Amino acid sequence: MPWKECSRMDEKLRFVARLLEGEKMAVVCREFGISRKTGYKIFNRYKEEGLRGLEERARNPYRHPNKLPFQVESAILRIKKQYPDWGAPKIRDKLKKLYSSIRPPAASTIHALLDRHGLVKRRKRRRHKARGTPLSKGLEPNALWCADFKGEFRLGNRKYCYPLTITDYRSRYLLSCEALESTKTPGATAVFERTFKEFGIPEAIRTDNGTPFASPHALFGLSRLSVWWLRLGIAIERIKPGHPQQNGRHERMHLTLKKEATKPPSFNFLQQQDRFDEFQGVYNDERPHQGLNGLYPGEVYTPSPRPYQEPDLPEYPLHERVIRVTQCGRICIGRRKINLSTVFAGQFVGVREEADDVWLVSFMEYDIGFFDRQDDRVEPVGQNPFAPKVLPMSSE
């Protein structure tokens, strides 16, 4: 729903007030740029609940259908403690004997629970280790890039503009400022690809937790864009929700961008992009930066020595199978279709038997989940292997 992010409640109040004054729903919805279905939903909530009905509602699910009941978890851990050498299939069979009235969880679910509690012994294997300076500090150009969508705004032709901006953390150099029609993945991917081709590949990219950088309902919060970055050898950093100061340098640039290049907005995308290009040139090569002791960002920044190129296919020498994930996010083995996640669509994953009738799924050097013979879905491993490296930072 295209409300202004900074004053969504005020927009709803003005919308309801117009309807209470007797104006037609179709006319008011047209002026606010929303559908009549959305308009009736907002107005009905107001009539039923008053001002409280206009407040933002949480979009979290009311329940987690795959979450084990506490009593079942306790029983599994108790059996494992009593019989340390038993695996998930044997524990599942024991549960069926002890509690015949309940449906036992899948062996992969039990294995993932044991993994979360550190009760699974992993096979030792070589892992790729990242090299270079600590990425979270961004001590050198291209050690860390920052990316974000500046808040959307309407152009003169009433269309919404979503500026995607990318900066180098160390030099404050504005690598890209692109006017997009939405925050969808294809548009953002094209911008990053052009930027990589021009400036090379950074060591890490820091973003917030919104789309298309992250997917709150996907496996480990990954998105297709972030999976592509991993394939290119780029580490992922995400700020903590509600802590924009952890991307303070980038947010400060947005204030300057908003003041100098969006007020008033241009009439169409071409005109607005022309203003963004002009702002980018001034910001990089004409505007002294106090954080750089008066230097221009262009005097500090140098392109990355890592050129952009298509990554090699990942290798899985210690896995029995290498499988390409389907476009619907499944792993197909014979006639079986095992649900993984659409963010891995088109990617190759490794599969190997980790325990009796329990298989481990790996992506690159990361172990991501388990599945078994009964359940056709991948149960995530205990700890997020892609966990963001967010360190305490001073606000800027």
Residue 373 pLDDT: 87
Q: What's the whole-model pTM score?
A: 0.67
Of residues 251 and 130, more confidence is placed in 251
In the block, which residue shows the tokens 């991948």? 378
Residue 66 pLDDT: 55
- Inter-CA distances, 362 with 318, 347, 366, 372, Å: 10, 11, 5, 15
- Residue-wise pLDDT for 358-386, tens only, equals 899 999 988 899 998 888 889 888 777 76
Task: Please provide residue 145's backbone torsions phi and psi, each rounded to the nearest 5 degrees.
Answer: -105, 155
Contact 267, 273 (CB under 8 A): no
Stated as kind and residue range, the H or E segment containing 89 is: helix 88-98
The overall average pLDDT reported for the chain is 84
Name the pLDDT band for 142 (thresholds 50, 70, 90): very high
Is the predicted pLDDT of residue 2 greater than 90, yes or no? Answer: no
User: How far apart are alpha carbons 103 and 353 in whole angstroms?
Assistant: 25
* Residues comprising the chain, all counted: 396
- Residue-wise pLDDT for 252-309, tens only, equals 999 999 999 999 999 999 999 999 999 999 999 999 988 888 999 999 999 999 999 9
Name the pLDDT band for 124 (thresholds 50, 70, 90): low
Residue 395 pLDDT: 38
- Residue-wise pLDDT for 59-107, tens only, equals 444 444 556 777 888 888 988 888 888 888 888 888 888 888 788 888 8
Contact 204, 210 (CB under 8 A): no
Name the pLDDT band for 391 (thresholds 50, 70, 90): very low
Stated as kind and residue range, the H or E segment containing 321 is: strand 321-324
Long-range CB contacts (within 8 A, 24+) of 267-276: 267/155, 267/156, 267/157, 268/155, 268/156, 268/157, 268/159, 269/155, 269/159, 269/161, 269/179, 269/181, 272/155, 272/161, 272/179, 273/178, 273/179, 276/163, 276/177, 276/178, 276/179
Residue 396 pLDDT: 41
Is the predicted pLDDT of residue 394 greater than 50, yes or no? Answer: no
Q: What is the mean pLDDT of residues 124-133?
A: 36
